[in-house]
Structure 1
Amino acid sequence: MPEHNALVLLYIDDESNPVAELQTPVIFNLDTTKLTDGFHTLKIVSKFDRKEGVKVINFSVRNGPIIHIEGLSDNETVSGTLPLMLNAYDTGRNQSFIIKGSENPRTIPVWVWVIALVFVAWAAFYLVTNFSL
């Protein structure tokens, strides 16, 4: 009976030995906790009869805690003493619904203050002009 499934070899980065050798179709759980944080490459080599196919997927791993800094940006020119607000927290992998960065305190943007001030000014004007004696 002829074989209808392909053999799939999975390689991470430039490793010469595959991390898995599987018959398709298959569901494979890639454990990223064994990889360092940063950019990686998943190379998938499929073999069917005498034919071979290759697919390369670039991805980024971030298993470590998320680090947030307020007060300094990439490639920013600075001078003097800088007050920096630092926070590091885990992503809570076991939860199904996460608002990314929700537990990190941040300053309120200027545009929110401007909109709030305009609304309060309009409300005061409305009250004064419509409810004057």
Structure 2
Amino acid sequence: MGTTADSFGTKRIYDAPADDDGCRVLVDRLWPRGVSKVDARLDLWLKDVAPSAPLRQEFGHMKERFEDFRLKYRQELENNPAVATLLDLAAANSRVTLLYGARDPDVNHARVLLEFILKHR
């Protein structure tokens, strides 16, 4: 399992589903290539919590842009009602796994989202 804290965790959607994933939520705006909807075993695809298309394109998953991306994405999350959906899921489930398609487990929006949720719950 990827990064964890209390009832939340992160994991690449390309990794095999596990029984301890709990509620599996895809937090990408775009469907990940090569993953069937059946194999993903999703409970929810929460596109609206993902970074805006312009921010995602500006970031481009480049490490040198990550800190700037982190700040801008946090600003987007401040007014994003989809964050409340994640908090409601955590209240209703013992575990919520945020699934993402990015290759780097440390430089991705799901990590920023997890940090934001843990700070604001």
- Does the alignment reach a TM-score above 0.5? no
The structure richer in helix per residue is: 2
Which is bigger in relative contact order (C-alpha 8 A, separation at least 6)? 2
Larger radius of gyration: 1
TM-score (norm 2): 0.21
